[in-house]
Chain A
Amino acid sequence: MGKTIKLISGDGEMFEVEEAVAFQSNIIKSLADEDNADDCIPLPRVDSQILSKVLEFCRKHANSPSVHTKFAAIPSELCPKHDGSAAGASSSESSSAHSETCRACYDAVMKLVQWDLEFVKVDLDLIHHLLKAANYLDIEDLMFMAVEGAANAIRGNNPEEIRKLFDLENDFTPEEEKEILKEYSWLDDPFEP
């Protein structure tokens, strides 16, 4: 079906995308299911720049099921190798059995994961906007990847670096700091019995 959904960003730009792309977002899906006669969905909180990035992500994920959050099961109909040859409804059991054994499906999923990891190797500002957009639009995969991108920035850095990156202010008094240190001193060595 070539049905398209029109989305209007916060600064008035209109994006027209296919249903499969737009329905990655649960919010858009439920808004479109309601009686929207003119198919135009306004998204006041998302800028056009961010929305285009989000839609790029959604386009890539449109034809494969949610690889990050749900059980990564590709139904037989979507498998690149077994195009159309598998019959029957794609219940989760048969599809999971299929993708466990199908090498082509596995490769497709891995490629998608690689693409996603590259997608979030961007500066923190953009990741921040992607996080907010994914939260607002409720796109599970984008949420997962944006969270991964943000965690990459935090992992393995000193407190000063983290403070600089994220522009945090230390609002603890010295007494409170000592309290926390005392309370959580066991955290420093998790292997201690």
Chain B
Amino acid sequence: MIYLGLVVNKDSGRSLYLKSYISSSWLLVYIARIETKMSARDSQEAESPSPVCSNYLGSAEESIPAGVKFVRSTSTLGRKRVVLSKSADFSPHCGSSSSPKKLCRRSTMERSNHLEALPLDVLVKILCKVDHSDLSQLLLLSKTLSQATSIAKEMHFAFATPISNRVSKEDADGHEEEAPNAPIRHRVTRSRLSALSLSSITAVLFPSRVDQ
């Protein structure tokens, strides 16, 4: 997480992209750690990820056909050089370790189970873009989603300001939105000025077009 503090964003408009880029690389490290723990638990089905994940940050480039590929990439963020590692494909490992029962149930891949077929890191990336208010619902949807949501929460939402949706929701009544936890007003004070007393000093600036 050190790199998060070091990078200085020059333009706030671009900081969103930078943040997602930085967090995605550390996301993979985080998930790798979680998956080593998970695979230690169900060792029967999962292939052991520890040789794969242990040389995560230090591996040189090596290619395994149609399997996991480590690519060392450097990128320039602002004025700092950041060395990152990314893993190309987590899906064979993820599918087996997260829910062995589910795989037996869904034997035919023709069923389009979108989210669950995705590797965990991709799923977390998607969930990072969801609003704060949707998080609590996502936790209850399914086990894989719940796991991904908790990861997203720790990686991203713990550091992001919730965007208030109150303006966008349909409050077409026109009455003012009440502030949360506002003190209860027992006596609403009325304005001491009355329109009659003001008429001598007021003038209509924008006459209405309605013919009266």
Contact = CB atoms under 8 A, between A and B. Distances in A.
Contacts, number: 147
B2 interface: no
A69 B20 contact: yes
Nearest to B11: A100
Given A30-B63, A93-B79, A136-B88, A180 B140 contact: yes
Contact of A162 (B89, B141, B143, B165): B141
Contact of A45 (B66, B102, B136, B140): B66
A168 B71 contact: no
Interface stretch (A16-24, A47-55, A75-83, A124-132): A124-132
Contact of A168 (B122, B128, B133, B145): B145
B17 interface: yes
Given A150-B126, A151-B130, A155-B130, A181 B79 contact: no
Contacts of A177: 140
B94 to A, nearest CB: 11
A185 B77 CA distance: 37
B66 to A, nearest CB: 7
Contact of A44 (B66, B78, B79, B136): B66
A190 interface: yes
B202 interface: no
Contacts of A72: 14, 17
A139 to B, nearest CB: 11
Interface string A137-167: 0101001100110110011111100110111
B43 interface: no
Contact of A100 (B10, B130, B133, B165): B10
B129 A180 contact: no
Interface size for chain B: under 10, 10 to 19, 20 to 34, or 35 or more residues?
Answer: 35 or more
Given A71-B14, A138-B86, A168-B145, A190 B140 contact: no
B4 interface: no
Nearest to A106: B13
A31 B69 CA distance: 11
Contacts of B17: 67-70, 72, 144
A69 B145 contact: no
Contacts of B89: 135-136
B59 to A, nearest CB: 13
B134 A155 contact: yes
B31 interface: no
Given A154-B130, A166-B113, A187-B135, A70 B77 contact: yes
B190 to A, nearest CB: 30
B14 A167 contact: no
A31 B63 contact: yes
A189 interface: yes
Given A26-B73, A27-B69, A138 B88 contact: yes
A189 B180 contact: yes
A114 interface: no
Nearest to B88: A138
A175 interface: no
A144 B129 CA distance: 10
A192 B164 CA distance: 13
B93 interface: no
Contact of B18 (A71, A125, A151): A71
**Closest 3 pairs between A and B when the two form their complex, measured CB to CB:** A151-B129, A187-B136, A190-B162
27 contacts: A26-B73, A30-B61, A69-B17, A71-B77, A71-B78, A131-B126, A135-B88, A135-B89, A135-B118, A138-B71, A138-B88, A144-B20, A148-B129, A151-B127, A154-B126, A154-B127, A154-B130, A155-B129, A155-B134, A162-B141, A163-B141, A166-B115, A168-B116, A172-B142, A180-B146, A191-B162, A191-B180
